[in-house]
């Protein structure tokens, strides 16, 4: 593989030849758009204006429903495809001047056969019976909206992006009502047009309806989706044909103020309890039919769920997902640049050390071809422990142009500007002088063929920092080709030694990488096994001298059963050449020296039980070498669901590391019991305890939520950290927060 590694430093000298190679590669990849076809013309639903008023009660007895067409004859997506599901589904649609209506009848299930994990909004799709609709009003097969309901009336909504993915952190006002019968369940949905974004002169929207039937372990769709693709794929959706163009949505302005108060006590530093009171607001303004302006002033994130802790035995920083609401909605416009290990923008870098004063975000579509995103956030200047922390301004702009069907070309520009604030003597006002900065620009081509058989990305990023003018780039290419039985992938990356993305997530620099993989699936007939999967992956890192620093070869075999349980076994070989000293246990013990080379094998076995069962579990065991020693790792979780009122779960990760004499041996345990209670559709309580032996910390987080009106909540959050040995408190905090959603 050495010869492949030599190919990677394509753009090490920023040469014109390199750019030509990238353009040629883009042209070759673009040609793959010729493959595939969709369902837009084969599956059409003529939608009519409602001929009577529709009352949301789960009873389809209005004349308006009698006069509609029926979408039926669903086709399976899983466990097979191209055949009818065991249970039938029928869907009807209508509209009036204000609302878009959908009703669906899911036959073949009685109430004692439902799987509904909880009553909390935004349920897990794969763990619950549900009916979903996916719509694309702009006809770009890339973005749109998703709405879903479980048999017990739990709702789920999201903004779609990348053609099949859904961001469920999007919240808006809409209504649904379900009713259960002995042989079926029924849902009626009312979605205000002002909740959606669309062009009113389009007389056709793309749409698909899907059903998750947990009792029969089947997924099906009105417009069929082959099983190698996500059932939410907009490329395979059918069409709504409007008998008259949909009405204009009208103005949509939402104002969401909040009040919060609380107290915090620091026992470790013997500080007295401190009380605090805060107020602020968010606002959402529909600037056009496709553009939304989000504003936040003095935002408060005290109700955000705590991170799930991780044991870090690697040489690099760990990634923790963003959980703050302001940064989550429409975040694909900013967060989808780069790859998992080369993220030019990572919103958790904002407000990391100081509070956020305010921010604004403009996102959405200009028309069917163009999307834009503009984000600006300001943090405060603070004094912490006698040290002045300067204020910072973060500005991110993105532009996306759709080309070749579903593919697009995207550009991003990021600016982090630091300010040194000081009070003037005359007015007491704050003045600022520009200090350090970090900037980045990036250009990407995202490939998506008409049926998503081909997916890929080509990107080039350039960073700008004071006194740095070389080796400050990153480049990557990824390509995926999917067939019914095969999935082939190619990835390569190159990151310069001085690539400084301070508002991004780039855990290592100065390397090139290749990562090809292949997966082959076998789907046996008349068996209790759904599929066998064989996957091989090769991952190699090289330094600037083309010397291998990391190499992983992995083979994995997985069996998926019809009852949703899975079992897999794997073997891998790892090679590491250290480019700096490293303690394998990260406990301050003896370090392996720079240049040290280690090679070892690992073996793994994993089992996931039937997810439909109220009691389910998964466990994974891995044993083998670890640098100059050995490691046994056991992780997994157990969960008991007393539906629909919640679940009790326990997750754990145990590492036992045995190293030669002179090095530290260690055992690390990370364990986290969790209780999720959903008393009603409006009252929720989550209690999460995490003991992290590596961090020597025991954390308790309890969060109570009362949704007293649609998208309006009262939160009570209690957090405490303890010393594990004595269970003495390190610090504790109690927060009360009230939010209210006003439509203006």
pLDDT in tens, 404-447: 878 999 999 999 998 765 444 455 444 544 558 899 999 999 99
pLDDT at 520 over 70: yes
pLDDT at 242 over 80: yes
Phi-psi region of 285 (alpha: psi -120 to 50; beta: other; left: phi over 0): beta
| pLDDT band for position 21 (cuts 50, 70, 90) | low
Q: Comparing C-alpha atoms, which of 433, 556, 568 is closest to residue 487?
A: 556
Least confident segment among 21-30, 58-67, 709-718: 21-30
Cα–Cα separations (whole angstroms), residue 49 to 71, 145, 173, 540: 16, 21, 22, 59
Buried b (16+ CB within 10 A) or exposed e, 210-244: bbbbbbbbbbbbbbbbbbbbbbbbbbbbbbbebee
pLDDT at 193 over 50: yes
Q: Which two tokens stand for residue 712?
A: 């309006």
| pLDDT band for position 308 (cuts 50, 70, 90) | confident
Confirm or reject CATH 2.60.40.1190 for domain 39-242, answering yes or no: yes
| pLDDT band for position 607 (cuts 50, 70, 90) | very high
Domain ranges for the chain: 9-34+317-507, 39-242
Least confident segment among 26-35, 116-125, 150-159: 26-35
3-state SS assignment for residue 64 = helix
The alpha-carbon radius of gyration of the chain (Å, integer) is 27
341 phi/psi in degrees, rounded to 5: -105, 0
Q: Does residue 342 contact residue 510 with C-beta atoms inside 8 Å?
A: no
Which alpha helices (DSSP H) does 295-391 contain, by range? 325-328, 332-335
3-state SS assignment for residue 20 = helix
On average, the pLDDT of the chain sits at: 88
With pLDDT > 70 as the criterion, what percentage of the chain qualifies? 92
- Predicted pLDDT at 105: 97
Q: Which two tokens stand for residue 399?
A: 């532009």
- Predicted pLDDT at 6: 34
Cα–Cα separations (whole angstroms), residue 467 to 394, 415, 500: 20, 16, 12
3-state SS assignment for residue 602 = strand
Record the pTM.
Answer: 0.85
Segment (H or E) for 6: helix 2-7
Taking residues 549-578, report their average pLDDT.
96
The residue to which tokens 């209790």 are assigned: 528
SS3 content of the chain, % helix, strand, coil (to 5): 5, 55, 40
pLDDT at 312 over 50: yes
């Amino acid at each position: 593989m050495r010869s492949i590694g030599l190919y990677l430093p394509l753009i090490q000298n920023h040469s014109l030849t390199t750019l030509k190679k990238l353009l040629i590669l883009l042209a070759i990849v673009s040609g793959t758009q010729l493959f595939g076809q969709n369902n837009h013309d084969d599956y059409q639903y003529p939608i009519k204006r409602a001929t009577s008023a529709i009352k949301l009660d789960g009873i389809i007895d209005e004349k308006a429903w009698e006069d509609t067409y029926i979408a039926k004859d669903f086709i399976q997506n899983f466990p097979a495809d191209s055949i009818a599901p065991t249970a039938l589904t029928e869907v009807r649609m209508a509209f009036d001047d204000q609302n878009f209506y959908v009703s669906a009848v899911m036959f073949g299930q009685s109430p004692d056969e439902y799987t509904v994990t909880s009553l909390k909004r935004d349920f897990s799709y794969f763990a619950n019976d549900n009916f979903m609709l996916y719509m694309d009003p702009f006809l770009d097969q890339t973005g749109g909206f998703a709405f879903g309901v479980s048999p017990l009336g739990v709702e789920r909504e999201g903004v779609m992006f990348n053609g099949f993915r859904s961001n469920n952190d999007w919240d808006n006002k809409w209504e649904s009502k379900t009713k259960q019968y002995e042989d079926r369940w029924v849902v009626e949905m009312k979605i205000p047009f002002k909740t959606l974004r669309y062009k009113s002169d389009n007389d056709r929207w793309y749409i698909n309806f899907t059903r998750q039937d947990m009792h029969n372990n089947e997924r099906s769709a009105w417009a069929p989706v082959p099983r190698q693709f996500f059932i939410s794929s907009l490329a395979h959706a059918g069409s709504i044909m409007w008998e008259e163009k949909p009405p204009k949505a009208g103005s949509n302005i939402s104002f969401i103020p909040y009040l919060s108060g609380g107290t915090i006590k620091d026992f470790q530093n013997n500080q007295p309890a401190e009380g605090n009171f805060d107020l602020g607001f968010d606002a959402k303004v529909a600037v056009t039919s496709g553009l939304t302006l989000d504003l936040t002033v003095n935002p408060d994130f005290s109700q955000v769920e705590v991170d799930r802790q991780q044991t870090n035995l690697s040489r690099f920083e760990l990634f923790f997902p963003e959980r703050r609401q302001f940064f989550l909605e429409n975040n694909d416009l900013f967060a989808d640049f780069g790859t998992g290990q080369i993220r030019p923008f990572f919103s958790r870098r904002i407000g990391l050390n100081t509070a956020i004063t305010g921010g604004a975000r403009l996102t959405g579509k200009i028309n069917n071809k163009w999307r834009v995103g503009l984000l600006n956030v300001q943090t405060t200047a603070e004094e912490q422990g006698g040290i002045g922390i300067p204020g910072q301004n973060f500005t991110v702009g993105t532009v996306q142009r759709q080309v070749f069907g579903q593919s697009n070309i995207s550009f991003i520009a990021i600016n982090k500007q630091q300010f040194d604030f000081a009070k003037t003597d005359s007015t007491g006002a704050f003045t600022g002088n520009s200090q350090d900065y970090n900037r980045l620009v990036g250009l990407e081509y995202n490939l998506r063929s008409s049926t998503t058989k081909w997916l890929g990305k080509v990107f080039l990023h350039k960073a700008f920092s004071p006194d740095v003018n070389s080796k400050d780039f990153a480049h990557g290419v990824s390509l995926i080709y999917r067939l019914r039985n095969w999935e082939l992938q190619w990835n390569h990356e190159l990151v310069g030694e001085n690539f400084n993305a301070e508002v991004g997530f780039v855990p290592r620099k100065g390397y090139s990488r290749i990562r090809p993989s292949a997966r082959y699936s076998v789907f046996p007939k008349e068996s209790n096994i759904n599929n066998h999967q064989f996957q091989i992956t090769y991952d190699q890192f090289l330094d600037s001298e083309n010397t291998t620093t990391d190499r992983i070869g992995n083979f994995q075999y997985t069996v998926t059963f019809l009852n949703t349980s899975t079992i897999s076994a794997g073997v891998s070989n790892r090679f590491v050449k250290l480019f700096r000293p490293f303690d394998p246990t990260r406990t301050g013990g003896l370090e392996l020296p720079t240049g040290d080379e280690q090679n070892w094998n690992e073996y793994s076995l994993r089992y996931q039980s039937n997810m439909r069962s109220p009691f389910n579990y998964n466990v994974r065991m891995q044993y083998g070498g670890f640098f100059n020693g050995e490691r046994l790792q056991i992780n997994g979780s157990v969960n008991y669901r007393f539906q629909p009122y919640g679940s009790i779960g326990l997750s754990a990760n145990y590492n036992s590391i045995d190293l030669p004499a002179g090095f530290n041996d260690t055992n690390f345990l990370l364990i986290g019991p969790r209780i999720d209670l959903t008393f009603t559709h409006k009252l929720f309580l989550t209690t999460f305890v995490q003991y992290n032996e590596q961090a020597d910390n025991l954390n308790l987080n309890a969060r109570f939520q009362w949704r007293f009106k649609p998208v309006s909540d009262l939160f009570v959050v209690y957090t405490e950290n303890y010393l594990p040995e004595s269970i003495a408190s390190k610090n504790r905090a109690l927060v009360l927060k009230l939010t209210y959603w006003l439509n203006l």
